[in-house]
A and B are shown apart, each in its own frame.
Chain A
Amino acid sequence: NAGVTQTPKFQVLKTGQSMTLQCAQDMNHNSMYWYRQDPGMGLRLIYYSASEGTTDKGEVPNGYNVSRLNKREFSLRLESAAPSQTSVYFCASSETLRQPQHFGDGTRLSIL
């Protein structure tokens, strides 16, 4: 029973490099989300996808792009990484937008 799977679990990048964080869920959920977690700031929504084929900006979308590849997969791309994007990134999914969200274990990303 995998739930929400994120890859990789850890990554170190240099400033200016690009990277794609992968997320897949096996619960047949319609909605998926990307958050970043920084100390003392809780979780902040980067992008979300209410259903397959749609994506919308969240609270902090600048510097990121997303792709809802199919119903299962939702990827987050950093085109030109900056030190301010050092964070822990969480993917989540829910049956619909108003249902409880299920979280992956996170990707710890450091940008030097």
Chain B
Amino acid sequence: EVQLVESGGGLVQPGGSLRLSCAASGFTFSPYWMHWVRQAPGKGLVWVSRINSDGSSTSYADSVKGRFTISRDNARNTLYLQMNSLRTEDTAVYYCARVIEAADYWGQGTLVTVSS
């Protein structure tokens, strides 16, 4: 069974940092591109970032570029999102997703709250 399990969310002050993890199991992780998507409370889905299969290519939404870094460890079957200089508007549930043509499997999400 394909599983994606996010962790690392929590409460952080503005300007702080967090690292999210997404542990993959039930499939061969290394060939797949992986994405992060977030959803602020009561709002819609917002695409955040993506990484290719070997980690050599990444892309970011303008709203997080220069502050967030996506990475992966194929040996550990884990995806990461390093989030620095956090702002109140980064408060959201963060989902990781496996992508072929589209995001066919999603994690359950981890809540990040940025507040003083």
Question: Are A and B part of the same complex?
Answer: no
Interface residue ranges, B against A (CB under 8 Å): none
